[in-house]
Amino acid sequence: MTTDTPSASPVRASGNNVDAPTSVAAPREHFASRLGFILISAGCAIGLGNVWRFPYIAGEYGGAAFILMYLIFLVILGLPVMVMEFAVGRASQRSAAQAFDILQPSRRWHWFSWWAYIGCMLLMMFYTTVCGWMLAYMAKMATGTFDGLDPDGVAGVFGTMLANPSEMVGWMLAVVVIGFFVCSLGLQKGVERITKVMMIALLGVMALLVVRSVTLPGAAEGLEFYLVPDFGKMFAGGLSGFGDAVYAAMGQAFFTLSLGISAMEVFGSRIGKQNSLTGEALRICGLDTAVAILAGLIIFPACFAFAVAPDQGPSLVFVTLPNVFNQMPLGQLWGTLFFVFMSFAALSTIIAVFENLITFTMEKWDLDRKRALARTAVLVTVLSLPCALGFNVLAGITIPGIGDIQSIEDFIVSNNLLPLGSLLYVVFCVSRKGWGWDNFLAEADAGTGMKFPRWARGWLTFGLPALIIIIFIMGYVPKIMMWAGLA
């Protein structure tokens, strides 16, 4: 292993300058390589929203003009919180199950450890089902299910799948089995080794798809729509339209990294102090952004080449793109490769969050990996059933303004746990009642590489919390207006 062995000396890092518990921590397994840490962290961040949300809103709000604004918010909003999660993990050398007690021994933040467990579990309750859709479509595309179908027929395949409880549960179970099998092999031999292969394959498949898409006849119009800066689109609706664009960029920069539920914190606990955390977080944010931008280079040229409207959301992936592949020479091959890429993107997140839940369980209840994995696998399987059945057997369970079970679970995580959890991480790292600014900065800057800007303390203390609160409130505004009958 290239990383340091955890120190046997107690951690001295509380916000009140009080020593942490003096018990000696057991040696902790670290990633075998720096590349493994970067690719696994990026794999956790790279999700399906990179594919079915980012390209669409980028094109809608001005292409490269929107991307520039998104990058600004990524640096001032997403990057600091990611560094904080990594710092908490690396300083404590523990998952969220114990990290806050180690860094703040007064146990004032003890309750926050459960935020991570609940958040990651809720995320898996619907993400296992959505990942199952990707595996299903990879198989359907490879076996020629869409051959000869018109647009209504393609749409019907998705609807038929959702209405079939045995198919939905079957693919969800396949995802659970794959994810926990990888985790059962251990951190280095399973999670790290297999995720590295998947991420490298993902980038290779994306490169092939980009080349195919941008060389299609008529692709130039799609590239222009996506990449040529058009500030007029930002102001098409006046100040209100510009406000929508700003909120879209702010929200995408925030949610794309899945911050606030300690999904990244556990990876920080698996690395040594050779490299500063700001530089590592920048690399991960850059890789996440590159995948999102490349997804647009696949989608827009292909859609414009065949005069198909690039919809947003699941309909883009499961209805629009299969129609595009049906019209494309060797479309079955390119469609299969696309869903291989989508499956790898989803599975990388599944494996990373499963590892987070298993590590939490091991540390919270002092279990070995085998028992922690079994307990977690049973919980994830049982709790994933409502979402898998929420499109058929339990289709009547909805909340006005939010939607079905999958949408409800997504709303709880994305609109509540992520922003509020991120806010709490900021408070923990800058407040004297938490870990404290000096302790955070020392940990973030340990090692070689880019240092965290000391002058940013004011922004993190006042500006960043205000921005997160705005994101949280704006997520509720359309719901409240609908519930009040104003929309």
Determine contact, residues 50/317, Cβ cutoff 8 Å.
Answer: no
Neighbours of 81 (CB within 10 A): 25
Determine contact, residues 322/141, Cβ cutoff 8 Å.
Answer: yes
DSSP code at position 4 = P
Task: Please state, rounded to an integer, the average pLDDT across all residues of the chain.
Answer: 91
Asked if pLDDT for residue 309 goes beyond 90, the answer is: no
**Residue 375: per-residue pLDDT:** 98
Closest CA to 410 of 39, 41, 52: 52
Between the alpha carbon of residue 311 and those of residues 53, 64, 229, the distances in Å are 9, 19, 20
- Tens digit of pLDDT for each residue in 249-293? 988 888 889 899 999 999 999 999 999 999 999 999 999 999 999
Task: State whether CATH 1.10.287 applies to domain 43-481.
Answer: no
What percentage of the chain's residues is helix, strand, coil (to nearest 5)?
70, 0, 25
Asked if pLDDT for residue 3 goes beyond 60, the answer is: no
- Tens digit of pLDDT for each residue in 122-160? 999 999 999 999 999 999 999 999 999 999 999 999 999
- Distance CA(114)–CA(103), nearest Å, equals 16
Q: What is the 3-state secondary structure (H, E, C) of 389-456?
A: HCCCCCCCCCECCCECHHHHHHHHHHHHHHHHHHHHHHHHHHCCCCCCHHHHHHHHHCCECCCCCHHH
**Residue 11: per-residue pLDDT:** 41
Q: How confident is the model at residue 1 (pLDDT cuts 50, 70, 90)?
A: very low
For residue 398, report the phi and psi dihedrals to the nearest 5 degrees: -140, 160
- Assign 72 to helix, strand or coil: helix
Determine contact, residues 421/119, Cβ cutoff 8 Å.
Answer: yes
- Distance CA(453)–CA(24), nearest Å, equals 33
- Tens digit of pLDDT for each residue in 221-247? 999 988 888 888 888 777 777 888 898
Neighbours of 229 (CB within 10 A): 14
Burial classification of residue 401, based on how many CB atoms lie within 10 Å of its CB (0-12 exposed, 13-18 middle, 19 or more buried): middle
Asked if pLDDT for residue 376 goes beyond 80, the answer is: yes
Neighbours of 227 (CB within 10 A): 17
Q: How confident is the model at residue 10 (pLDDT cuts 50, 70, 90)?
A: very low
DSSP code at position 275 = B
Q: Look at the block and give the residue holding tokens 């300083």.
A: 91
Burial classification of residue 246, based on how many CB atoms lie within 10 Å of its CB (0-12 exposed, 13-18 middle, 19 or more buried): middle
- Assign 216 to helix, strand or coil: coil
Task: Tell me the H-state helices in 74-164.
Answer: 79-92, 96-103, 113-142, 151-163
**Residue 51: per-residue pLDDT:** 83
Structure tokens at 277: 């955390």
Determine contact, residues 31/285, Cβ cutoff 8 Å.
Answer: no
DSSP code at position 110 = G
**Residue 487: per-residue pLDDT:** 58
**Residue 94: per-residue pLDDT:** 96
Cα-Cα end-to-end distance for the chain: 57
**Residue 421: per-residue pLDDT:** 96
Angle made by CA atoms 103, 438, 259, in degrees to the nearest 5? 60
- Distance CA(159)–CA(157), nearest Å, equals 6
